Amino acid sequence: MPKIIIDSNIPYIQGVLDQVAEVRYLTHQEINADAVRDVDALIIRTRTKCNASLLLGSKVKFIASATIGFDHIDAEFCMTNGITWTNSPGCNALSVAQYMASVFSFLKYNFFDLSGKTLGVVGVGAVGSKIVNLGNCFGMTVLQNDPPRARKEGPASFVSLAEICEKSDIITFHTPLNLEGEDKTFHLADEKFFDMLKKKPVIVNAARGEVVSTEDLLKAFEDGKILATTIDCWENEPNIDGRLLEKSALTTPHIAGYSAEGKANAASQCVQAVSKFFGLGLDNWQVENLPAPFAVDLTSVNSPEDFFLKTYRIVDESNQLKSAPQAFEYQRSHYPFRREPAAYLSQLKEDFQNKLTLQFPLFFK
């Protein structure tokens, strides 16, 4: 039986592998070099840095991360030391789209009508492509920036970062964090980026905190170059910048992807990956029973914006973080996983159901 350590904060996975492996559930703080020394596999989140400090001298052969991002995994070290790893691509893409639907709805009610505005999406992978779709659903013109895809597919569907800065009313980041190389995204939004802005846009970071330079963003605020910010991903988490917290219109503790469906997808992908690697017979396992959606009165809802803001109460979450930023990690690790829009569809009047599913098909396939 393989020995496996699983992050105890990964939902829907406890008990699944216990019949076919020797499993220990540890918090991310407890997953250290001593703990993993005699372990064959890890199932982790972004809080566990899989590098030489953790893995050198261990028996770890396989790592599965219950996340889309993988900048917490030292791929070069793993390759050199014969460690196979996988992430969970696309697992929470619809969850982030739900998050952004609430952001857009908030912006419509508090800043400007979205129809005819230009949305710049930086990073058009599994998540970013959903946001492109969503922007179109809201009636915005959408610009896409993704240099790796542009090189692979041709430049016709993509624009430069400079054009994003010149034309966008909203700029939202959905890139991985690359610290170096041709597609470096560390501090992609830096002083040079903010100097290129033309339309005083709203900035949204739902990628990784370090994609946006906090100091340069604050200076752009002071210089009147941006209208507002929504921040889900922060530099130096969980010790986030109080100045940026105060200035931002919406603030959340890195939970854009934290829907029940997204977490279930991640758990399923990790179990399947570990099963295939070790031959455990769970190659097709999936989470089956999700929690009921939160109780919400939708009887009077007659606009998409009201629907998105009632089924995901982003303003309440923002106020919670603003009132207790020192509890960032607690709020994140004890987050009550929300259900995605499709879970609420049956509660709507039939005519509004039809309107919503026609306008926003990405949520109701």
Please state, in angstroms and rounded to a whole number, the distance separating the CA atoms of residues 140 and 317: 26
Helix (H/G/I), strand (E/B), else coil: 189: strand
Residue type, 196: M
Please state, in angstroms and rounded to a whole number, the distance separating the CA atoms of residues 359 and 340: 16
Structure tokens at 184: 């470096």
**Which residue in 174, 187, 208, 332 is the catalytic one?**
208
Structure tokens at 216: 């340069």
Residue 208 appears among annotated catalytic residues: yes
Cis peptide before 201 (omega within 30 of 0): no
Length of the chain: 365
Please state, in angstroms and rounded to a whole number, the distance separating the CA atoms of residues 203 and 231: 8
**Which residue in 254, 332, 338, 339 is the catalytic one?**
254
Q: Beta strands of the chain (E only): which ranges?
A: 3-7, 22-26, 41-44, 62-65, 84-86, 118-122, 141-145, 170-173, 202-205, 228-231, 250-251
Residue 254 appears among annotated catalytic residues: yes
* N-term to C-term CA, the chain: 40
Give, in order, the Cα–Cα distances in Å from 72 to each of 192, 279, 289, 355: 27, 26, 30, 41
Please state, in angstroms and rounded to a whole number, the distance separating the CA atoms of residues 253 and 328: 6
Please state, in angstroms and rounded to a whole number, the distance separating the CA atoms of residues 118 and 242: 30
Residue 187 appears among annotated catalytic residues: no
**Which residue in 30, 163, 237, 329 is the catalytic one?**
237
Residue 65 φ/ψ, nearest 5 degrees: -110, 130
Residue of 10, 56, 6, 21 lying closest to 277 (CA atoms):
21
Strands 84-86 and 141-145: unpaired
Please state, in angstroms and rounded to a whole number, the distance separating the CA atoms of residues 218 and 234: 13
Please state, in angstroms and rounded to a whole number, the distance separating the CA atoms of residues 23 and 29: 17
Given the structure tokens 């530099």, which residue do they identify? 235
Query: Catalytic amino acids?
Result: 208, 237, 254
